[in-house]
Structure formats: structure tokens, C-alpha cells
Structure 1
Amino acid sequence: MATDTITFGDCQLDLSSGELRRSGGVVALEPIAFELIVFLASRPGELVTKDALVEGVWGGRAISDSAISSCVAAARAAIGDSGAMQRYIKTVPRRGFRFVARAEKPRSTPLPVPDLKAKPSIAVLPFTNMSGDPERAYFSDGITGDIITDLSRYNELFVIARHSSFAYRDAEKSSREIASELGVQYLVEGSVQRAAERIRVNVRLIDPSTANEIWAERYNREAADIFEVQDEITAMIVNRLVGQIERRHQRNAASGRETGLSAYDYILRAQQSIFDVGRENNQRALSDVQKALEIDPTNARAHALLGWHYITEATNSWGMDPNEAYQNAWDCALYATSANDDEPFGFVVLAWVYLWRDRLFDRALVELQKACDMNPSNAAYRSYLAFAQIYAGKHEAGKANLEGAMQLNPHFPVLYDVHYMRALFHLHDSKAALAHAVRVRSHMPQASNALSLAAAIFASLGMDDDARQVVDRIKQVSPDFTRAFVRRHLPYRKASDQEYFLEMLEAAGLPE
């Protein structure tokens, strides 16, 4: 039987022997300090009050504040932490302590069998080699395998493993029969043709229940670097497949019927509402996330979306105290990454708190890079990294990453326009940003932060009437969104970026 342990960072707590190991070596530690670490590490992300700590570690005995402080200091030293660094045990002034690392306990029960009806399920059948040369089958098989691998990174989908999909190579069965045997809702089919120095890839998404083609696309590329072409085409196909499936399920989930909706359905509805930034939409998203959590209380994506709801509330000055909103977002992100460390969106929310609340730009970029590394072909995570790079003053890098995200996802949300025009604005190319500002003004009439950027761009181009109209709209939807709010809360790393933005907001007429 496996030893009961808790693991975090380079530390391992052996609960049966009462030993702490770091990097494989045993660390000498008083038993009470060991118990304190175990008590906190067993509650990652939770606020533990002093009273709760005394009750849980000391059994409710009367303990002085200095004794608690001494024990916490010893615990921190043992795990490579400190009062200044607080990588693991964070002091929350006047409230208590919080364990801020992701602690992992080994699973003592069998892994659950996934319910293939809970999320969209898909099988990618081997792409047909149309080149007439069996020796070139490696390329069509490579594309198929890469698509399966990259789709598997999306927690929103169930993807049938390559071995099972490839069992249907040259099978003389209908799509309905194959889908029934595999138990999936969707099939992907395709073909690859390579002639001279060109490669053509055809792909289509099928609903086997009706034999209808939901989506189809053709890609033509020069075969200069075969592996680059393979990576590029795979990434584009995967983003479009996921987008098509999500849109199909969003339409069903948004139909208004409440009976029979799954946690996944409510999550899709919440995502749509949150990313259509607006005060009412944000509240609608909150309601749907709460319904998702009623069905599945440990759903990591739902907790991450709840955190994003709080961030959207704070960054647009919609009433909740920003510090309270960021703390709520932090709690949600810690839960999400603890519940499922394969959920990239939890790291996105963590990064946003580091960015907006703490101004820890480099740490935010590290967390966002984690999300990108977990799902490299995902356009959304690439875009979040770009957003943070722009606030961090890396305008050219952010612009380039956004352009890549737009290429991978041609039906990109208006949120991409917001940050793309922010990069252009701070590169002093408002003329190129104008079309994006016009789109944002039209499609995001309640998003105070986005509207303020559009107003600044209009002002920088001398379009005073447009700038004033946008400012009037901001006053209606968010009276507290002022230049003082921008100065206090928008996370600009470079003072010159913030000053230029404030200068244009003043010219646009946004109140102080």
C-alpha cells in the first residue's frame, strides 16, 4: 500500500512516519511544527484563522501569540520558506494564515470512469494518405496523431485514444456505426495530399447521428519545412474544431431550457456571458457558474470562471471593492489549481491577480506561460499571455502573440480587439488601432475599461466628439470608473504608458 503523503514544491510530508523530506532528504523538525505544516497543507487556499489553527494543532489549549509565531517561523524554515518570501505559508494580516502552494495527496481510490455524456466526446479517424505513395503515410498519420494529442489537452472534451481511433483505418463502416462502437458524439475525418512542394489537408467534423457535416476546411501550404507545416496545420485545425463544438453546445445551452443541463452546459453559458463583457452579463455568468457548482462542486473550470467573474467586476469598477474581488478571485484560482492542476484557466486567473492586485508582472507571465505550455495550440491562452505582456510594457511581443492567436482563431472574441488596440495605442499607432476601437465601442457598450481605451484612441486622433460620446457612455455604465480609478488600479508597469493613457483620457473628458 502506498504511503500516505502530501507533496508540494520539493517537499513531501510522510503522514505515517511524521517525517518531512525536502529534495529526498529528511528535515529535522519539532513534531508540533510538522503538525502545523500538515494542518495548513491539507487546506490549500483556505483562510485559517488563529483560533482554527490553535484548535487544530494545539487542541484548543491556551497558546501565546509568540509561541504561534515561533512555530510558524520554524515550519517556514523547514520547508524553505520565510516571513519575507511566503511562498507556501502566507500571513493574512489580522485574519490568519493561508497555504498558497498546490498540495497533492496520492489517490487511494481507483480513478473514476468518465461519463462520455457529460461533455462533448470525439474520435479522430486516421487521415487518408492521398499522395499515392505509401511511404508518405507517416505524414498523414502524424497529423492525425498530433490532432488527437492536442485535442486531449482540452479538459472540455473527451477524446478517444489514438489506438482505438486507428483501429478503424480502412474500416468499411458508416460514421454512425463507428461512433456507436466508440461511444462518441463527433467524428473527425480528413485526407492529406502531398505533391511536389505543396501539401493539401482536408478536414471535416461530422455529427454521426445525422451524418451531417458540421464544418469543413482545406489547408494549402508550401512544403518547405514539413514539421513546421505539420505543427501549423494541426494548431489551426484543433482551434477550429474546439470552437465549432463549443459554439454548437453553446447554442443548445443558451436555448433557455433549464431542465437537463449539465455542469458543462452551465459553464459554456457562463463563459459566453463573461467574455461578452458587461455588468448584466457578468451577473448572468455568476448565476450559471453557481448552477454548475451545485451539480459538480469540485469542477475546476467552474471555480476558475468564478474567479474571472470577480476579476471582471474589479477591473471595470462595477461596485464590489476591488481588493475583496481580487481576494475572492485568488481563492477561486487556488481551489481550481488544487482541484485539477491540468486546468490551465486556473493559472490564468492566478496570473490576473498577480498582475492587477500585486503588480508582480514577471510572476504573472510565468503563470500564463504555464497555461500556454499545458495547451500550446490553444489560441485563448496565447491571447491571455499577450494581454499581460502589453500591461507589462512588452508591446511588440504582446502584439505578435495576439496576431498569432487571431490567426489560430479567426472568429476571435472582441476582447482580442481591446488588447490589440492597447498594444497599438502604446506603440503610438492609434491610426491602426482605430478600426478595433470602433468595433469595441459597438460590441462592448458596458465594458468600462475597454471603452476608456477606445476614448483615449479617439482623443489621440483628434476625434473629440467620438471620445466624448464614449466617455458619456462610461459615466452611465460605471460612474466610479474615473482617471483616479485608472491611476490606482490599471496594472501598467511603465509609468510612461500610464501617463500617456491618462493624458488621452483627460483630453477625452473622463473625470478625475
Structure 2
Amino acid sequence: MQRPEVSDVCSHMVWDFGAFRLDPERFELTLRGERVPVEPQVLTMLVHLVRNRHRMVTRDELAEAVWKGTAVSDASISSRIRSVRAAVGDDGTRQDVIRTVHGRGFRFLPDVSEDAPARPEPREPSKGPDAARTGRPSIAVLPLAPLAVDEAYAILADAIPHEIIQALSRLRWLSVTARGSSFRFRQPAPDVDLAATALGVRYVLSGILETSGDALSVTLELSDSGLGEIIWADRLTSGISEVDDLRARIVNHIVAALEIVVPENEARLAQLSGADKFDAWANYHLGLRHLYRFTARDNAAARVHFEKAAALEPAFARAQAGLSFTSFIDAFLRIVPDVPAAQAAARRHAERGLELDVLDPFVNFTMGRSHWLTQELDGARLWLSRATTLNPNYAQGYYASAFTSMLVGDAGSTLDELDTALTLSPLDPLLYGMHGVRAQMLLQRKDYVAAAHWAGRAAGTPGAHYLIGMIAVVAYGLAGENEQAARWRNEVRRRKPDASAADYFTAFPTQDGPSRTLIAAELRRQGF
């Protein structure tokens, strides 16, 4: 197959109407260059109306496009239409943009021009870690190369990468090349270097699809185009009868892996490049590297990087989310003497992040966490639900939701959300927290043996902080495993000599009275 010329690679299309620009690939509406904050369902409805502007769109069609077959009332559809109108400066009386066809549906009225947004100029692939790497990380997902694939399943070579592109497009920290461009590199063995050069991306995801007997397998590789190295690879296999399950697993697996692998790679290369080359995104990724260690020293280092990122790029929502997270840690671990001030800072930075990008899952996540600190659990659940709605593959969002469910004593939701988080990200940097929340929930259910098992796994996980050790002390103590309880008691004292029961209940303000009484008694017995 002839290789596509660089000049033939085109970008996705965006729509302009009046002073508005709607980018369906980036899932973004702007007015004179400024982002318009719009709820995901509202934006989905607007995209569908504009895409089908040459005809009337029925209510049933909108319901299917937005709610995906879930039962929805006419009132809900009307409410979303009002929100769409508000976003584009229209109203139900004037109807200059969206006209209601009574009893039937809706029409999008303005003239729309299509435009291909400018893409980066093709570049020579950089060689080595000293090459300049600035701005938001970018990725192209290529079609899978079929290898001895039954004809009935050949369509999966396109379908799986397309679903990956859709899922990755929800990640606000990653720039994803549109399918129309990346799928031009369809070959039995795609040229990763050519694709990276032509599309101007740092990362390329490629792979092989193959069938053998009753099994179907997908092998995936993530390449760093600057280094010319494969930085992550995996292989997933399922029975032919479980193709739909395999497709879902692949998408979930990819998103969770990239959430960990790419930021770590970006941080590593930023450090190699030297501090004088750190841009806002480099500082952000370096901040993440310190953030999940939950120590006073690392938290301070993370804050410095996030502050530099915010100073370099004042409209950088994720820098504000990072600052909210560091303030959360200050309050959660009681690192600072003025805990109320840290709580207020966590909320303030999260609110600023939302002002800059209301659709960023990480920003919504930090807003939810800020509500933990003030024990506004209903508010926490709302914001964390928004985070996982914006990114259904957001493992830490499900973990945080599980933590909140545990605090209100909802065991079913706690365990379901933890299982989802662990399925999405089995090597997550907050793995100790996931196991710790499970242990705490089991303590509340008086299953002390199981609680001790999970608490031991949590406390022994790299990165676990002293509060996780306190869960292990309580769980082992109530399970009658005094030797293990003493071991973790000594470890907690080593890490934080003044640790107390007040610290425990400040971090885990559970609402279950009887279990709080038992835990408090065990903490006293252990000398806290």
C-alpha cells in the first residue's frame, strides 16, 4: 500500500455559526474564542442538532442520541433544549437558533460553515530525551493491523480504535487526533514514525488484531515518537462469543493505563530536559509525580510545580485542580496547623478550576474532594458523579465515590465502586486508598477478619500514609491479631508520633454510630 503523503493528512471539521464555534471532536463550544461552559448532555444535543441541521430532528431521535435508549420524559428533553438555547444565546420565544416544530421535533436554523482547524506543522521526529516537549501531550490512535482475522471480525480493526479515540477524547489533559486523520495510516504494518511526523503527535497507539480458533486477541503498543521507544504494551484475549466484553475491556484498560503511563513519562522527560525548559504542562506532570505520595515534603514540592504551571498559563484549569488537591492533602493529613484555611483553599482552587473548564473530570473530582473536608457528603457525591459521567473510565473518580459512599454507610455502592475502580486501574497510585476504604467499610459491617486482610494489603502498599496504618491497627486489633496490630501501631508511631483518634475520625468521619464507638474503643486500647 502506498504511504499517504504528509500534505494529504487532513484534520477534523468544526462548525461556525454566528460568533460561535462548535468542535465535535474536542467536544467544545466557544464564543469568540472563549469556552462556553456547557453540560455534557446539552453539548451532545447541540452537536446532534447541528450535524442534522438540514432536516427536522424528532424528540425520539434526540432521546436516543443523548440518553442512549434510557427512558426519558418530554420534560427532560425540553429542559435540555432550554439549556442548549441558553448556551447559544437563543430562547423559547425568539427561536432564532433552534425552532420548535410543535408536536414533532426541532430544527437548527443558522447558516453553518465548516472549517478544518489548523494542525501542527509536520515535524522531524525528535531523537532523545533532550528534545523540546512543550504543551499538552498528544496522541494518535491508528487502526489495528489484522493478522489472520476471520472476515466476520475484520471490522473490529477499525471499531476498537474508534471507541478508544472516543474515550480518550474525554480526557482534558490529552490532545487526540481525529479518526479522519489517524485512519489514513491504514497498512498491514502501520509506519508509526511516519504517522507521528505527519500528525505532529508525541504518542502513537498501534496494535494487531488476530483470531485463532475460538479466541480473539488484541496486542497494543504505545510509542513515544520523540524517543522512538515503546513505553507500554499489553495483550488482551477473549473468546469469540465475548467480543463485546473484550471491546469494553480494551477501552477501559487503555484509558486507565494512559492516565498513569503518559504523565509519568512526561514527568521523567521533563526532569531530563532541565528546569529551564519546564512549561506549564511539564510543571503539571512533575506536580502529579509528587502528589500521590501523600507526604508533607512531596506535597510541598507538588504545590510549587502547580503554582508555576498556573503562573505560566493562568487559564490552566488542571493547575488549579492540582493546587486544590495539595490543599486537600494538607487538611486531610493535618500537615498544616490551620486546617480550616487548607479546607478553604481546596474549595477556592477547585472553584477556580471549574470557572476555567467545567468539563474537566479532574477539576470536578477535586471539587468533590473539597466537600469531603467539610463533611458535605451530598455535595461530594454530586461532584464525583459528574467526574465519572464526564469520564466513565476515571478510576480515581470511582474510588472517591466509594469513599463517600463508605462515609454514609452505603455498603453496596462502596463495594461496587471499588470494584469498578480496581478493574479500571489495578496499579493505580491510590491503590492503598482503595484497599483502605474497603477495609473501613468491612469494619463498619463488623467483618473484622476480612477487614484485617484488606487493611494489611492497604497499609503494605507503596505510598500508603499513616492513616492507612491506623486502619490496619484497628482491623487487626478487632480481629484479635494482636501481633499484627502492634506491628502497625509501631509503624504509625514511627511515621507520626502524635497520631491520635481525632486524626482518624477527622479523616474518616463515618456516620455509623455503633462502628465509630467500637473503633474509638480499639484506638484507645492501642494507645491512640
**Conserved 8 A contact 1:148-1:162:** yes
Deviates more, 1:123-132 or 1:152-161: 123-132
Matched positions, count: 418
2:195 matched to which residue of 1? 178
**Secondary structure of the structure 2 residue equivalent to 1:281:** helix
1:497 matched to which residue of 2? 515
Shift of 1:478: 4.6
2:250 matched to which residue of 1? 233
**Conserved 8 A contact 2:470-2:504:** no
In 2, Cα distance between equivalents of 1:7 and 1:305: 20
**Secondary structure of the structure 2 residue equivalent to 1:420:** helix
Among 295, 299, 305, which residue is 2:322 paired with?
A: 305
Among 156, 168, 191, which residue is 1:151 paired with?
A: 168
In 2, Cα distance between equivalents of 1:489 and 1:383: 15
2:427 matched to which residue of 1? 411
AA at the equivalent of 1:399 = L
Matched, 1:286 2:303: yes
Structure 2 counterparts to residues 249-328 of structure 1, below 5 A:
249-254=266-271, 257-328=274-345
Structure 2 vs 1, CA of residues 123 and 214 (structure 1 numbering), >3 Å: closer, same or farther?
Answer: same
Structure 2 vs 1, CA of residues 431 and 256 (structure 1 numbering), >3 Å: closer, same or farther?
Answer: farther
TM-score normalized by structure 1? 0.72
Matched, 1:168 2:168: no
Matched, 1:394 2:410: yes
1:217 matched to which residue of 2? 234
**Conserved 8 A contact 2:136-2:281:** yes
Shift of 1:24: 4.9
Structure 2 unaligned blocks of 5 or more = 1-17, 21-30, 40-78, 81-88, 95-114, 121-132
Matched, 1:364 2:380: yes
Shift of 1:172: 7.5
Deviations 1:200-254 (A, max 9, x none): 1111112334543322211111233432331122211232234222222232345
In 2, Cα distance between equivalents of 1:470 and 1:137: 54
**Secondary structure of the structure 2 residue equivalent to 1:297:** coil
In 2, Cα distance between equivalents of 1:461 and 1:114: 61
**Conserved 8 A contact 1:275-1:415:** no
**Secondary structure of the structure 1 residue equivalent to 2:155:** helix
**Conserved 8 A contact 2:433-2:464:** no
Matched, 1:450 2:484: no
Shift of 1:408: 2.3
In 1, Cα distance between equivalents of 2:193 and 2:37: 46
**Conserved 8 A contact 1:278-1:446:** no
Structure 2 vs 1, CA of residues 8 and 149 (structure 1 numbering), >3 Å: closer, same or farther?
Answer: closer
1:428 matched to which residue of 2? 446
AA at the equivalent of 1:238 = V
In 2, Cα distance between equivalents of 1:270 and 1:167: 36
Structure 2 vs 1, CA of residues 505 and 223 (structure 1 numbering), >3 Å: closer, same or farther?
Answer: farther
**Conserved 8 A contact 1:313-1:325:** yes
In 1, Cα distance between equivalents of 2:521 and 2:234: 46
**Conserved 8 A contact 1:316-1:481:** no
**Secondary structure of the structure 1 residue equivalent to 2:186:** coil
AA at the equivalent of 1:313 = D
**Conserved 8 A contact 1:361-1:493:** no
In 2, Cα distance between equivalents of 1:259 and 1:434: 48
**Secondary structure of the structure 2 residue equivalent to 1:342:** coil
**Secondary structure of the structure 1 residue equivalent to 2:135:** coil
In 1, Cα distance between equivalents of 2:198 and 2:410: 50
1:206 matched to which residue of 2? 223
**Conserved 8 A contact 1:123-1:184:** yes
AA at the equivalent of 1:420 = R
In 2, Cα distance between equivalents of 1:356 and 1:114: 43
Matched, 1:351 2:373: no
Deviations 1:71-125 (A, max 9, x none): xxxxxxxxxxxxxxxxxxxxxxxxxxxxxxxxxxxxxxx9997888412211111
1:75 matched to which residue of 2? none
1:136 matched to which residue of 2? 153
Deviations 1:312-365 (A, max 9, x none): 1111122333222211111111111110012112211221232330x3323321
Structure 2 vs 1, CA of residues 117 and 446 (structure 1 numbering), >3 Å: closer, same or farther?
Answer: closer
Structure 2 vs 1, CA of residues 452 and 111 (structure 1 numbering), >3 Å: closer, same or farther?
Answer: farther
AA at the equivalent of 1:452 = M
1:17 matched to which residue of 2? none
TM-score normalized by structure 2? 0.70
**Conserved 8 A contact 1:356-1:490:** no
In 1, Cα distance between equivalents of 2:416 and 2:215: 27
Structure 1 unaligned blocks of 5 or more = 12-20, 27-109
2:14 matched to which residue of 1? none
Shift of 1:436: 4.5
In 2, Cα distance between equivalents of 1:298 and 1:222: 47
Shift of 1:260: 0.6
1:18 matched to which residue of 2? none
In 2, Cα distance between equivalents of 1:421 and 1:312: 21
Deviations 1:115-162 (A, max 9, x none): 884122111110123354444332221111011111121122111111
1:68 matched to which residue of 2? none
AA at the equivalent of 2:502 = A
In 2, Cα distance between equivalents of 1:192 and 1:342: 33
Structure 2 vs 1, CA of residues 339 and 276 (structure 1 numbering), >3 Å: closer, same or farther?
Answer: same
**Secondary structure of the structure 2 residue equivalent to 1:259:** helix
Structure 2 vs 1, CA of residues 445 and 271 (structure 1 numbering), >3 Å: closer, same or farther?
Answer: closer
Shift of 1:488: 5.4
Deviations 1:471-495 (A, max 9, x none): 4554565566422344456331322
**Over 6 Å off, 4+ runs:** 3-11, 110-116
In 2, Cα distance between equivalents of 1:349 and 1:212: 34
**Conserved 8 A contact 1:304-1:346:** yes
Structure 2 vs 1, CA of residues 268 and 8 (structure 1 numbering), >3 Å: closer, same or farther?
Answer: closer
**Secondary structure of the structure 1 residue equivalent to 2:437:** helix
